[in-house]
Amino acid sequence: MPAYATNMRTKFPIIALILEIITIILFAVFVVYDDGEHGHHDSHDTHNNTDHKLEPMDLYPMFQDVHVMIFIGFGFLMTFLKRYGFSSVGINLLLAAFGLQWGLLMQGIWHLDGGKIKVSILKIINADFSTATVLISFGAVLGKTSPVQLLIMTILEITIFSVNEHLVVGLMKASDVGASMVIHAYGAYFGLAVARVLYRPGLRNGHENDGSVYHSDMFAMIGTIFLWMFWPSFNSAIAEPPLSYTQLTAVINTYLSLATCVLSAYAISSLVEHKGKLDMVHIQNATLAGGVAVGTCADMSIGPFGAMLIGFVAGIISTVGFKYLSPILASNLGIQDTCGVHNLHGLPGILGGLAGIVASPHALKISPHATMQAAALGSSLGFALVGGTITGLIMKLPFWGQPPDQNCFDDSIYWEVPNEEEENEESLAHGDQSKHKADV
């Protein structure tokens, strides 16, 4: 067992400050405001050949919906653990705040305009998207990694993501408007690869803090519901041409897929659980699988019926995955997937990619080639597995402050935590005197 150095007093501040200063310098060199005068190189940014000229702020409400998904949605979804809420929502904020800056740079270098990255609402939507990959992977290693390790993962994962995205969308011309492949499948398998490398035999038999309490499950539902509600925005925000029926199609498909998915997830949860009871883990996660799975073909003319079928199947495979597949992954393959991202993002992401291959003739704009859709899925999975493994190996280096097994899933290793637990015990025994913060 390695010696652990989890005191972050020097390590974390130095790394965070250096990263931020480098980022600011890169912004000073490369980033300017969008002024509406483009060189027309980026098909995502200009839509002048349509009836609907995009005004600078037209996509702003969509951006805010996506923003809520990233910071409230992902942040609170992960607060289900009983003693890891500070880290879930707090480190989520840290990673996303850094990730969006890094994502702006990494995505921007593929679309330079006069040597500059011109920041528009569309660009910051895409920057938010790039952070989603990291937050998905974060779910796989939640509770078992230090903030420093996670900052390293953020840089590497977003960098690799932007390469894969450029390859898939820019070069292969594959269609993936809701990013089932380039975000969800990529983020999930990247995170699973990292989790595999960071496998902890000491947690084979579980950990007392690796579970929820009543209130932490309630906090997690805040994340679930906000993700569920705003997913139509996620899947339609970058649909082209904006403000048109293509975007409407993406909204309707996602809305219906999600609604259907809720019914199948609830039904299967009750079917597979003890005495027919519902399991919060399924409700918090599998109800969202419909949003993931309909992503690739959200803007295709698959019909309301087609979208509902996708959602129906997604809810089933996600719930079944949680019940039967996750335990096998953990015990047989050494993949300890804290949040079950394989079931929420991995399997439904692959389902979405497959649906996109089948549905590609129904695309409303230039029809993507089914072969290219398949190649896009393969590329996303390949980059994820290779990139995640390499990233995991780097994260495994012994000086990043990784927590020892016994301190996993516990905020108090990286956070000042109010000492209510001791208070409660003491207050019952001796009254109520001890009120200062714990120096754990």
Q: How far is the CB of 15 from its own copies (least distance, A)?
A: 8
Question: Residue 229 in contact with residue 68, Cβ under 8 Å?
Answer: no
In the shown chain, the binding pattern of residues 288 to 307 toward its own copies, with x for contact by CB under 8 A and - for none, equals: -------------x-xxx--
Q: How far is the CB of 123 from its own copies (least distance, A)?
A: 9
Rounded distance between C-alpha atoms, residue 9 and residue 69, angstroms: 31
330 binds its own copies (CB under 8 A): no
**Cα-Cα-Cα-Cα dihedral sign, residues 321, 323, 326, 332:** negative
Nearer to its own copies, 98 or 400 (CB): 98
Part of the chain binding its own copies (CB under 8 A), chosen from 51-59, 191-199, 348-356, 366-374 = 51-59
Rounded distance between C-alpha atoms, residue 217 and residue 99, angstroms: 27
Residues 6+ apart with CB under 8 A from 143: 81, 84, 87, 209, 210, 338, 408, 409, 410
181 binds its own copies (CB under 8 A): no
Question: Which one among 112, 155, 163, 309 touches its own copies, defined by CB under 8 A?
Answer: 309
Nearer to its own copies, 258 or 357 (CB): 258
Site residues (CB under 8 A) for its own copies, limited to 62-91: 62, 64-65, 67-68, 71-72, 75-76, 79, 82-83, 85-86, 89-90
Phi, then psi, of 354 in degrees rounded to 5: -65, -45
358 binds its own copies (CB under 8 A): no
215 binds its own copies (CB under 8 A): yes
270 binds its own copies (CB under 8 A): yes
Rounded to 10 deg, the angle between the 186-197 and 147-165 helix axes is 140
Q: Measure the CA angle with vertex 144, ends 141 and 147; round to 5°.
A: 90
Q: How far is the CB of 396 from its own copies (least distance, A)?
A: 21
**Site residue total, its own copies (CB under 8 A):** 126
- The count of other CB atoms within 10 Å of the CB of residue 30 is 15
33, 64, 20, 7 alpha-carbon torsion, rounded to 10°: 180
Give the HSE-up count for residue 133: Cα atoms under 13 Å, Cβ half-sphere: 37
Question: Which one among 159, 163, 266, 330 touches its own copies, defined by CB under 8 A?
Answer: 266
Site residues (CB under 8 A) for its own copies, limited to 121-140: 121, 124
Classify each residue of 85-96 as buried b or exposed e, where b means 16 or more C-beta atoms within 10 Å of its C-beta.
bebbbbbbebbb
370 binds its own copies (CB under 8 A): no
Question: Residue 120 in contact with residue 64, Cβ under 8 Å?
Answer: no
Q: How far is the CB of 213 from its own copies (least distance, A)?
A: 4
155 binds its own copies (CB under 8 A): no
Question: Which one among 38, 47, 52, 166 touches its own copies, defined by CB under 8 A?
Answer: 52
Nearer to its own copies, 214 or 399 (CB): 214
In a 10 Å sphere around its CB, with 0-12 CB exposed, 13-18 middle and 19+ buried, how is residue 303 labelled? middle
Question: Which one among 199, 200, 415, 426 touches its own copies, defined by CB under 8 A?
Answer: 415
Nearer to its own copies, 397 or 440 (CB): 440
Of the candidates 175, 95, 86, the residue with the CA atom closest to the CA atom of residue 134: 95
Rounded distance between C-alpha atoms, residue 133 and residue 335, angstroms: 18
Part of the chain binding its own copies (CB under 8 A), chosen from 153-161, 192-200, 242-250, 375-383 = 242-250
Question: Which one among 56, 202, 361, 398 touches its own copies, defined by CB under 8 A?
Answer: 56
Nearer to its own copies, 156 or 316 (CB): 316
152 binds its own copies (CB under 8 A): no
**Cα-Cα-Cα-Cα dihedral sign, residues 199, 201, 206, 209:** negative
Rounded distance between C-alpha atoms, residue 415 and residue 408, angstroms: 13
4 binds its own copies (CB under 8 A): no
Q: How far is the CB of 124 from its own copies (least distance, A)?
A: 6
Question: Which one among 155, 163, 222, 330 touches its own copies, defined by CB under 8 A?
Answer: 222
Q: Measure the CA angle with vertex 93, ends 160 and 421; round to 5°.
A: 130
